[in-house]
Amino acid sequence: MSSSSRRFGPFRQFLVNPSWTTAQGLKLAGMGQRIDVYIKELPVSYSSTQRIIAELWQTLKPKFAVPLGIARGSSLVILEQTGKNSGYSTRDVCNCSPTDHLCIVGGPEKLDSVVNMRTISKHFKQAGMDVVHSRDAGRYLCDFAYYCSLYHGERRAAFIHIPSSGSLSSAERLVPLLQETIVMMLDQLEEIHCGD
């Protein structure tokens, strides 16, 4: 089983994006013997992100992808359910926005992950962890990358916004939490495929 994790390059006040440090921590810690982890840094650029994600799905053919991004000002881990195709008018670091402000011309307006983020967030909330689910990844590069991953991966993706502050922003606490979260996502994916 393979899993792919992507994160973004330097972003606003973050010279080293914490999502990259987290992705490296996940790669180093591993996900167990049956799961291969591949990480790729994405530039904060719509066109590059779109191209890289399409190439990764075509060449690596991962079973599941988990893009990571920073939730500025948040102390929560946010599991995103939905990627949206339109509304990308904010310019990236290259001072560009996507053609017609869309991720994929002709793509559906929104795509939901096959994984139920509400179920996973409930598990962690019951354990007293600051994990929530959301249906709005923000209409910038995070949402854009998520929609592209959902589109090319036939909805086999999950976007995780990691906190920029609070106790879960430390790699020591965040990496084990993300390991458990991703394993739960992959278990859900297995159950879905077994039911087919």
Contact 45, 12 (CB under 8 A): no
Check if the beta carbon of residue 133 is closer than 8 Å to that of residue 161.
no
Q: What confidence score (pLDDT) does residue 193 get?
A: 73
Q: How many domains does the chain have?
A: 1
pLDDT tens for the chain, residues 1 to 196: 455 555 444 444 545 678 888 999 999 999 988 889 999 999 889 999 999 999 999 999 999 999 999 998 899 999 999 999 999 999 999 999 999 999 999 999 999 999 999 999 999 999 999 999 999 999 999 999 999 999 999 999 999 999 988 888 888 889 999 999 999 999 999 988 776 5
Catalytic-labelled residue, pool 80, 103, 133, 152: 80
Residue 161, number of CB atoms within 10 A of its CB: 24
What is the biggest distance separating any 2 CA atoms in the chain, rounded to whole angstroms? 45
CA gap 168, 148 in Å, rounded: 27
Q: Does residue 81 lie in a domain region?
A: yes
- Check 103, 142, 148, 152 and give the catalytic one: 142
Per the domain annotation, does 175 fall within a domain? yes
| Paired tokens of 32 | 């167990």
| Residue 39 covered by a domain | yes
Give pLDDT, residue 3. Answer: 54
Examine residue 177 and state whether it is found in any structural domain, yes or no: yes
Closest CA to 162 of 38, 6, 27: 6
Task: Answer whether residue 4 is part of any domain.
Answer: no
The question of whether 133 is a catalytic residue gets the answer no
Active site residue 101: no
What is the CB neighbour count within 10 angstroms for residue 114? 18
- Residue ranges in 46-116 assigned as alpha helix (H): 46-59
Cβ contacts of 185 within 8 Å, gap of 6 or more: 64, 66, 115, 120, 158
Asked whether residue 45 is domain-assigned, the answer is yes
In a domain, 5, yes or no: no
The CATH number of whichever domain residue 39 belongs to comes to 3.40.630.20
The predicted model scores a pTM of 0.90
- Whole-number pLDDT of residue 11: 47
Q: What is the pLDDT of residue 175?
A: 94
Q: Domain limits at 181?
A: 18-194
Q: Is 152 a catalytic residue?
A: no
